[in-house]
Amino acid sequence: MELLDGIGKLSGVGPKRVALLSQLGIVTLFDLLMYFPRAYIDQMTVTPFSRLSAGMEATVSGVVASVRERRSGPGGRLAVLTAYLSDGTGYLAMTWFNQPFLKKKLDAGRRIFATGRVDYAYGGHGGLAMTQMSAFEILEDGEGAPRGGMLPVYATKANLNQNFFRGLMAKAFSRKPELPEVIPEGVRKRYGLMGRDQAVAAMHFPKSSGEISSARARLAFEELYLIQCGLLLLKKRTREKEQGVRHLMSGGLVQKVEASLPFRLTGGQSKAWREIAADMEKPVPMRRLVQGDVGSGKTAVALLALVKTVENGYQGALMAPTEILARQHYETFSRLLQDTEVRIGLLSGKLTAKQHEEMLAAIAAHDVDIVVGTHALIQDKVVYDELGLVVTDEQHRFGIAQRAELNRRGAKTPDVLVMTATPIPRTMTLTVYGDLDVSRIEELPPGRKPVRTFARTEERRALIYAFAKKEIEAGRQAYVVCPLIEESEEMELPSAEAIYQELSGGVFRGIPCGLVHGKLKPKEKEAVMRSFYEGKTKLLVATTVIEVGVDVPNATVMVVEHAERFGLAQLHQLRGRIGRGKYQSYCILIGGGKEGMANERLRAMERTASGFDLAEADLRLRGPGQFFGSMQHGLGDLKVANVLRDTDILLRARRAAMETMEEARDMRYVIEVLRINYRDRFGNILDA
């Protein structure tokens, strides 16, 4: 078979299974080979029955001596099937519930091979039984000896069980061609990597746990190495473009705007701004990431960069992730630039067709200097007269492909500034933003009082809302955040709507309240948010639509209902909406009562203010993947590598990729590989 042949070609895979497998992303033979086990069961050591004791996890092997079937439970609804096995050293009962179909396979004399937990047999007078098998195999006639080794466990769907998968892999391997190598030979030798074909085979049919880790390491290296090569290539191609926009030294306009800011830049902001300005003054296009925790003041830095490009006769674009944020930035900028001649435009999805056309025309004619909008700003329809700088706030939709795309547009390649509050560990930054230079704003503006955070149970709700009311009466504003409730959920959780009704008609009667959630029409959402910005609405009940970037310094209270339903990253983003002004702010997390993990998270919020520390706490509490799970890092899924755990491999892969950039022959090899394997990601760099 060929690698790209459909799996329907394998015997035993009819249309039904083709459909089920495609739900797992398996369409071709290649997909199947790349469908790696999610775990392994160590069957290397088979424990004789005589050495078993209750409570042990063990792998055992024995021959069926007899089988008994009975019913139990209320109304005899539970079918209990017990096989008594012997292995020459003793006896062991093995029990299955509600799997009557197994009976016909359990003929006396059949050998069973199983891994699971050993317990005292029910009513067995001290005899032992295995009832929860994490894996078992009933060997076919003639398959005398147990297979032993490491047994792969696949992520499956109903109707596709482990044995089916294991059998399918065996068939696939008997018919597959050799997998082509994708890492240059020199690199493979230098880094001691096993061949690709061998590694894939070892993932599915490992002989030892050592072999699994070498195979995994090789495949993780492969993924990270190729992506690093792609990113470095992107960086190199960007650098080679001598026709970047060359900005001159910052002149009077930048100085005037900086002086007119209602505050002085913090040390961190100044440093980031100096680094940005220096990049902009070079003929090579800027590709810079600014990382700064929520509230660190990234907007002001972006403003100065945009003004600089305008002062040099170019246009600037600022992309926000949502309409609400785009409008907010538009208004902030309009206010801060009101004493200048700079013309700002908002390209909003809510413009009428006619207004939209007019805005596009104004942009093309250079009647607008700074355009603010969502990611639509860099789509083909928007034609700039001379685009000098693109800033993206909360990068989500601005992945590698978009960055590469900018290289291909217009006569000159614009500078790019990416701003993010996501506390990405260094290694992660390398994977996602390997083509960018990084500036960090590590401090918050002075005079900020750290938000005081309290985790409380529901019994305190009345007190909590009385407190929020007192703050509002003192002139402040407050948020109440409710979890998003899926309609399918049966749980008895009040919706944002219900909480709004309850609060606005109860404790907060007479106080202007607003409600905003994802189901509102953009216009309605807009009106509610506006009224809150303007200070007319005092209490805003919201779902997480307010998560990113909303800036109302007068808001000092945030109550989070059912805080246990939020992840730490999200809670941190939410909390970043308060503590933005000179007043002391309070974040009160109402936990749904249950003990455990969730409350651990809330405790971490009470103790910890920094996003980086919280990211680490979350890692400890929930393991990797969760914190970043919600982050769309634009890389697609890594199949094998785990950027949090495989730091060593990542750094080695990064080094290897840098070496490759210097080796013309290896580079040609890798470009070909990227062209074939990563076209969607890097296609537009490769074509350039």
Contact residues: ligand ADP, CB under 6 A: 263-266, 269, 292, 294-300, 421, 445, 549, 551, 553, 580
What is the size of the binding site for Mg ion (CB under 5 A)? 1
Q: Tell me 8's DSSP state.
A: G
Sign of CA dihedral 191, 197, 203, 205: negative
**Measured between alpha carbons, how far is residue 125 from residues 47, 119, 120, 121, 128 in Å?**
22, 12, 8, 8, 9
Give dist(CA 629, CA 483) in Å, integer: 18
Give me the least distance between CB of 299 and Mg ion, in Å please: 5
Give me the least distance between CB of 429 and Mg ion, in Å please: 18
Q: Which helix (H) or strand (E) holds 438?
A: strand 437-441
Q: What is the DSSP string of 332-368?
A: HHHHHTTTS---EEEE-TTS-HHHHHHHHHHHHTT--
Give me the least distance between CB of 577 and Mg ion, in Å please: 11
Give me the least distance between CB of 274 and ligand ADP, in Å please: 15
Give dist(CA 30, CA 36) in Å, integer: 11
Identity of the residue, 591 or 611, whose beta carbon is nearer to ligand ADP in the bound complex: 611
- Rule CB under 5 A: say whether 549 interacts with Mg ion: yes
Q: What is the DSSP string of 295-330?
A: TS-HHHHHHHHHHHHHHTT-EEEEE-SSHHHHHHHH
Residue nearest to Mg ion (CB): 549
Q: Choose the one of ligand ADP, Mg ion, none that binds residue 296, judging by a C-beta under 5 to 8 angstroms depending on kind.
A: ligand ADP
Q: Choose the one of Mg ion, ligand ADP, none that binds residue 445, judging by a C-beta under 5 to 8 angstroms depending on kind.
A: ligand ADP
Give me the least distance between CB of 301 and Mg ion, in Å please: 10
Q: Choose the one of Mg ion, ligand ADP, none that binds residue 295, judging by a C-beta under 5 to 8 angstroms depending on kind.
A: ligand ADP
Give me the least distance between CB of 423 and ligand ADP, in Å please: 12
Give dist(CA 552, CA 125) in Å, integer: 70
Q: Choose the one of Mg ion, ligand ADP, none that binds residue 297, judging by a C-beta under 5 to 8 angstroms depending on kind.
A: ligand ADP
Amino acid at 557: V
Give me the least distance between CB of 543 and ligand ADP, in Å please: 20
Q: Are strands 57-72 and 111-120 parallel, antiparallel or unpaired?
A: antiparallel
- Rule CB under 5 A: say whether 321 interacts with Mg ion: no
Contact between 327 and 346 (Cβ < 8 Å): yes
Burial class (CB in 10 A: 0-12, 13-18, 19+), 99: exposed
Identity of the residue, 415 or 551, whose beta carbon is nearer to ligand ADP in the bound complex: 551
Ramachandran sector of residue 123 (left: φ over 0; alpha: ψ -120 to 50; beta: rest): left
Helix (H), strand (E), coil (C) string for 115-141: EEEEEECCCCCCCEEEEEEEEEEECCC
Give me the least distance between CB of 587 and Mg ion, in Å please: 18
**Measured between alpha carbons, how far is residue 218 from residues 153, 223, 459, 649, 677 in Å?**
20, 9, 54, 9, 17
Structure token digits, residue 666: 């290896």
From the list 15-23, 156-164, 262-270, 549-557, the region that binds Mg ion by CB under 5 A is 549-557
Q: Choose the one of ligand ADP, Mg ion, none that binds residue 624, judging by a C-beta under 5 to 8 angstroms depending on kind.
A: none
Give me the least distance between CB of 549 and ligand ADP, in Å please: 6
Amino acid at 603: R
Identity of the residue, 172 or 324, whose beta carbon is nearer to Mg ion in the bound complex: 324
Q: Which helix (H) or strand (E) holds 481?
A: strand 477-481
Q: Choose the one of Mg ion, ligand ADP, none that binds residue 300, judging by a C-beta under 5 to 8 angstroms depending on kind.
A: ligand ADP
Give me the least distance between CB of 332 and Mg ion, in Å please: 10
Q: Tell me 155's DSSP state.
A: -
Give me the least distance between CB of 344 and ligand ADP, in Å please: 17
From the list 138-146, 214-222, 511-519, 546-554, the region that binds Mg ion by CB under 5 A is 546-554
Identity of the residue, 244 or 549, whose beta carbon is nearer to Mg ion in the bound complex: 549
Give me the least distance between CB of 443 and ligand ADP, in Å please: 9
183 CB contacts (<8 Å, ≥6 apart)? Answer: 193, 196, 221, 222, 225
Identity of the residue, 269 or 544, whose beta carbon is nearer to ligand ADP in the bound complex: 269
Give me the least distance between CB of 525 and ligand ADP, in Å please: 20
283 CB contacts (<8 Å, ≥6 apart)? Answer: 242, 243, 244, 246
Q: Choose the one of Mg ion, ligand ADP, none that binds residue 294, judging by a C-beta under 5 to 8 angstroms depending on kind.
A: ligand ADP
Identity of the residue, 122 or 263, whose beta carbon is nearer to ligand ADP in the bound complex: 263
Identity of the residue, 291 or 660, whose beta carbon is nearer to ligand ADP in the bound complex: 291
Identity of the residue, 384 or 398, whose beta carbon is nearer to ligand ADP in the bound complex: 398
Farthest-apart Cα atoms in the chain, separation: 94
Residue nearest to ligand ADP (CB): 297
**Measured between alpha carbons, how far is residue 300 from residues 237, 273, 338, 398, 458 in Å?**
30, 9, 15, 21, 39
> Quick one: how far is CA 402 from the chain centroid?
18
Q: Choose the one of Mg ion, ligand ADP, none that binds residue 309, judging by a C-beta under 5 to 8 angstroms depending on kind.
A: none
Q: In what order do the strands lie in the sheet with 287-292?
A: 344-347, 370-373, 315-319, 387-393, 415-420, 287-292, 437-441
Give me the least distance between CB of 369 and Mg ion, in Å please: 21
Q: Tell me 373's DSSP state.
A: E
Determine the 3-state secondary structure of 151 from DSSP.
strand
Contact between 268 and 296 (Cβ < 8 Å): yes
From the list 408-416, 436-444, 547-555, 659-667, the region that binds Mg ion by CB under 5 A is 547-555
Give me the least distance between CB of 447 and ligand ADP, in Å please: 7
Identity of the residue, 294 or 387, whose beta carbon is nearer to ligand ADP in the bound complex: 294
Identity of the residue, 266 or 599, whose beta carbon is nearer to ligand ADP in the bound complex: 266
Q: Choose the one of Mg ion, ligand ADP, none that binds residue 653, judging by a C-beta under 5 to 8 angstroms depending on kind.
A: none
Q: Choose the one of ligand ADP, Mg ion, none that binds residue 269, judging by a C-beta under 5 to 8 angstroms depending on kind.
A: ligand ADP
Give dist(CA 171, CA 204) in Å, integer: 12
Residues that bind Mg ion (CB under 5 A): 549
